[in-house]
Amino acid sequence: MNHTELASKTAEPASIILFDGVCNLCNGTVQFIIKRDPSMHFGFASLQSEAGRALVVHHGLDPDELDSVVLIEDGRAYTRSTAALRIVRRLPGAWPLLYVLVLVPRPLRNMIYNLIAKNRYNWFGRQLSCMLPTAENRRRFLA
């Protein structure tokens, strides 16, 4: 499913968040975003899904080497800390204030991001299979 197909199901413009579907931290983050995104700006797909893998490949990334959240926005793929900061920038409340961290040099931001990503299963655990969206949120997830 591409942006146009997702946009027909959700509000325009659609941004897609690709996440590790078996990671408890990642699944919790998706639930956090859904609760704070009533305009349904974001759509979601797990990196393990067919749709997620296809989007990763389409944007020139290697799905087997990817250890990061991916944000597809305006036809571009953003990864690691840049993706995370671009996501919080769209959330209501004080969350967009965190976008100021984009001023921190990317290698330093990504060093911290990579530390968390490397340890996410040890710190937060993992599931045996990808999260299944609730019936209420199913339309926000790519098949």
pLDDT tens, the chain, 143 aa long:
454 444 444 343 379 999 998 899 999 999 999 999 988 999 999 999 999 999 999 999 998 888 899 999 999 999 999 999 999 999 999 999 999 999 999 999 999 999 999 999 999 998 877 767 777 788 888 86
| Per-residue pLDDT, 27 | 92
Q: Which of 17, 3, 11 is nearest to 71 (CA)?
A: 17
The rounded distance, in Å, linking the Cα atoms of 88 and 104 is 16
Alpha helices in 36-139 (DSSP H): 50-58, 80-88, 106-124
- For residue 74, give its domain range: 3-140
| Per-residue pLDDT, 3 | 47
> How many distinct structural domains can be found in the chain?
1
Local structure of residue 129 (DSSP, 8 states): S
Give pTM, 2 decimals: 0.85
84-109 burial by CB neighbour count: b if 16+ within 10 A, else e? bbbbbebbeeeeeeebeeeeeeeeeb
